[in-house]
């Protein structure tokens, strides 16, 4: 936890020894690799073996891809890398779900058996339950990151790393290891071989991002503990007005929580001389769903675009991969529902689409684009977990993207510079995104139904004044949070640059004051970062 004193004691020790090796690239890389593996071991214990397997496996397959002169063998080696990575990811994220679903479909009572827990218990004398499945922290992040390497080597976008130690460092560099940002090979590998450099201004910016992320996390926890968690845990206790405030509050909370982590990760990496790309760009300034996904969790959305959406055909055409991926998603939906008749429904819909594509050529391209968008967003939903709620959330965002593509062709507001129109579109986009997050945040479908029931049948609009007054500090924090978020970027650049340009004593004094103030908002134990669960 970047917000705990223990972590900062750890980081201080890391920096002390880093100061002895940072000028020599090989020593620097080896040292940070050892530190990162220790960090992950303290985070996830025996699952460090999974991380090591991923490193060794993809380093080997990347080398084979590079050395091979045959296009066919290059594809084979890449396929092996992709299958191994996705198989491990699917096992940890979906094995328990598959066992439950197969039992439901076949009427059996097969018990889930965790082979990794059994292995750990046998060889390391641990005491994991073999009928439970623990999700390794950050597995979705480091799997996608490692995949980017073998794919980039296959595409000749990067040269293979010089040693397995370099590759291990790329995969498990501890600031971004457990919750991103997802670092693509072609964005990072060159930095491993560059000499260390950090200007005084860059140090100031790194310090700013760490402080900024810390503040975001504290406020996010304050909102969660004092209001939002109560709404989503027991929505039947609250009016529709309170629920609506909770929904918009959650949009702010998850942004501050997740972007707070990545802000701190970017700052920590920069202090050690490595530049990570921005992961959030004021997403609630977006005036459309398409723009939102260019601003939100940029490392994941750009990864999905570069390694999934474009290879599937993007806006141009459909491919075999498009229909194969769609088939996998339909398979998941049937398993999630536990209803085999749903497969017949999907086959009937597929037949209609095939006929429309055959007789209407313009419809054919639109269908392909729609399929590629929906596949990308549905797989993005499944990336978060095997749940109907994540599937629905991904599907709704896919529908939002599709509607916007058609809306762009007829929109009277296209290329408008009117502030009032932009504000209206921004609020519409925020409302839609917040609506989809009902499914993302809720623990089950019953909670979702209750939330919609409270909004539709128990709105309590006359209570709005009492609600605002009763939660005045929470509402004030939400309002201030959104207002700061909407500050024009040029003003944000000014105060960031001002802070980074100050003397170390001034920066330190501001940091002490801010940290002291933020700790006054703490209502109890610090909450885990939301995206740790993915």
Question: Catalytic: 384?
Answer: yes
How far, in Å, are 174, 209, 283 from residue 279 at the CA level?
17, 12, 10
Q: For the purposes of burial, counting CB atoms within 10 Å of the CB of 192, is it exposed (0-12), middle (13-18) or buried (19 or more)?
A: buried
Report the chain's terminal Cα–Cα distance, integer Å.
15
DSSP 3-state of 413: coil
List CB contacts of 72: < 8 A, sequence separation 6 or more: none
How far, in whole angstroms, is CA 286 from its chain's centroid? Answer: 18
HSE at residue 501, side-chain half, CA atoms within 13 A, is 6
On whether the CB atoms of residues 215 and 517 are closer than 8 A, the answer is no
On whether the CB atoms of residues 384 and 139 are closer than 8 A, the answer is no
Does a cis peptide bond (omega within 30 degrees of 0) precede residue 181? yes
Q: For the purposes of burial, counting CB atoms within 10 Å of the CB of 297, is it exposed (0-12), middle (13-18) or buried (19 or more)?
A: buried
Give me the helices (H) in 385-444, please: 388-410, 419-441
Alpha-carbon gap, residue 512 to 80, rounded angstroms:
51
> Residue 194: phi, psi to the nearest 5?
-90, 150
Alpha-carbon gap, residue 297 to 531, rounded angstroms:
11
Alpha-carbon gap, residue 397 to 389, rounded angstroms:
12
> Residue 101: phi, psi to the nearest 5?
-70, -45
| Token pair of 148 as six digits | 């980017």
DSSP-assigned letter for residue 224: I
| Token pair of 383 as six digits | 């990336």
Catalytic residue selected from 115, 384, 485, 503: 384
On whether the CB atoms of residues 116 and 108 are closer than 8 A, the answer is no
* Residues marked as catalytic: 384
């Amino acid at each position: 936890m970047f917000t705990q004193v223990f972590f900062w004691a750890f980081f201080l020790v890391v920096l002390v020894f880093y100061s002895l090796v940072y000028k020599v690239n090989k020593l620097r890389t080896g040292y940070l690799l050892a530190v990162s593996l220790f960090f992950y071991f303290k985070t996830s214990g025996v699952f460090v073996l999974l991380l090591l397997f991923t490193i060794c496996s993809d380093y080997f397959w990347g080398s084979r891809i590079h050395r091979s002169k045959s296009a066919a063998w290059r594809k084979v080696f890449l396929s092996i890398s992709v299958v191994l990575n996705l198989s491990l990811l699917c096992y940890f994220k979906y094995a328990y779900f598959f066992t439950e679903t197969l039992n439901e479909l076949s009427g059996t009572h097969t018990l889930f058996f965790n082979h990794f827990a059994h292995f750990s218990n046998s060889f390391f004398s641990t005491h994991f339950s073999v009928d439970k499945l623990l999700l390794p922290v950050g597995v979705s992040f480091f799997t996608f990151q490692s995949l980017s390497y073998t794919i980039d080597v296959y595409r000749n976008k990067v040269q293979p790393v010089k040693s397995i130690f370099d590759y291990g460092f790329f995969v498990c560099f501890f600031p971004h290891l457990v919750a991103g940002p997802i670092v693509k090979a072609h964005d990072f590998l060159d930095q491993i071989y560059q000499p260390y450099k950090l200007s005084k201004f860059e140090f100031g910016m790194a310090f700013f991002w760490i402080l900024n992320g810390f503040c975001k996390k504290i406020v996010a926890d304050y909102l969660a503990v004092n209001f939002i968690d109560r709404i989503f845990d027991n929505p039947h206790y609250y009016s529709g007005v309170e629920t609506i405030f909770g929904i918009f509050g959650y949009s702010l909370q998850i942004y501050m929580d997740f972007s707070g982590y990545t802000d701190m990760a970017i700052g920590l990496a920069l202090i050690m001389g490595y530049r990570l790309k921005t992961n959030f760009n004021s997403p609630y300034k977006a005036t459309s769903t398409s723009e939102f996904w260019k601003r939100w969790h940029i490392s994941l959305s750009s990864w999905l675009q570069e390694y999934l959406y474009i290879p599937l055909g993007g806006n141009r055409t459909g491919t075999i991969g498009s229909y194969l991926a769609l088939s996998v998603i339909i398979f998941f939906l049937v398993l999630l529902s536990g209803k085999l008749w749903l497969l017949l429904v999907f086959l009937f819909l597929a037949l209609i689409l095939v006929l429309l594509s055959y007789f209407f050529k313009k419809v054919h391209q639109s269908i392909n684009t729609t399929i590629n968008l929906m596949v990308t967003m549905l797989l993005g939903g499944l990336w978060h977990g095997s749940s109907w709620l994540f599937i629905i959330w991904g599907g709704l965002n896919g529908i939002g993207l599709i509607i916007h593509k058609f809306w762009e062709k007829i929109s009277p507001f296209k290329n408008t510079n009117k502030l009032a129109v932009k504000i209206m579109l921004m609020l519409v986009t925020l409302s839609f995104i917040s609506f989809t997050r009902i499914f993302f945040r809720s623990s089950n479908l019953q909670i979702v139904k209750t939330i919609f029931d409270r909004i539709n049948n128990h709105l309590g609009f006359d209570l709005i004044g009492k609600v605002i007054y009763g939660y005045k500090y929470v509402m004030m924090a939400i309002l201030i949070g959104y207002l700061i978020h909407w500050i024009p970027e040029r003003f944000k650049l000014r105060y960031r640059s001002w802070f980074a340009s100050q003397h170390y004593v001034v920066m330190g004094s501001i940091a002490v004051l801010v940290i002291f103030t933020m700790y006054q908002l703490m209502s109890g134990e610090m909450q885990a970062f939301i995206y740790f669960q993915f």
